Structure 1
Amino acid sequence: MADAAEFLKDDKPGEYVARFTVTGEVRVTIKAESLDDAETRAWAMADSDEFGHGLDDITDVELDWVDRSPPMFLVTRDGRSMRVSHLHDGDLPRQPDSSGF
């Protein structure tokens, strides 16, 4: 298994993921100071009349969960540069590219 300490990673501080159920699923990234703050913002989104991102005929919105965004590691896998949330055997550490990460 690859050693996570050898890889650059973006812990995404202050960023959380919220999942809502709306006759399907909508996932959004929430910038917040804490998990509690992210959850408060997610509930406010669920209660908003504007929620739905352009979906028609929404009858109900449920907040399923709020959690931290997973850290992303900079790796080279099978010769390709990528950002991944889980390291695999054979992943090699890499430096940021021109896009910054």
Structure 2
Amino acid sequence: MEAMNQKLPKDTGQVIRDAFYDMALSLECLFLLYGTSDLFAEDVVRCLEEGYTSTMKRLQKIGGPNGKLRRQTAVTQFLSRLEREKSDRGLSGG
């Protein structure tokens, strides 16, 4: 109960964004190192985005920072990279 009564730091939203950014980068690294199917990678990234959105909505509900919920930059970059690799494979016939 004591944790609920503690005041949220002013940068809680940024801390959460940074944590999700780091998780996305870590997953991207693992996917690139060990390889994975595009479908699996997209599902994992989608789950990560849903978790981020849900977390930020809960934070706003308890009085956290307001503002537009935005997609993680790392996730956007990761999805773009997957699309580029997919189109490169299509062009090379492989």
Superposed pair shares fold, TM > 0.5: no
The structure with the greater share of residues assigned to helix is: 2
The structure with the greater share of residues assigned to strand is: 1
Q: TM-score, normalised by structure 1?
A: 0.27
Between the two structures, name the one with larger relative contact order (CA 8 Å, sep ≥ 6): 2
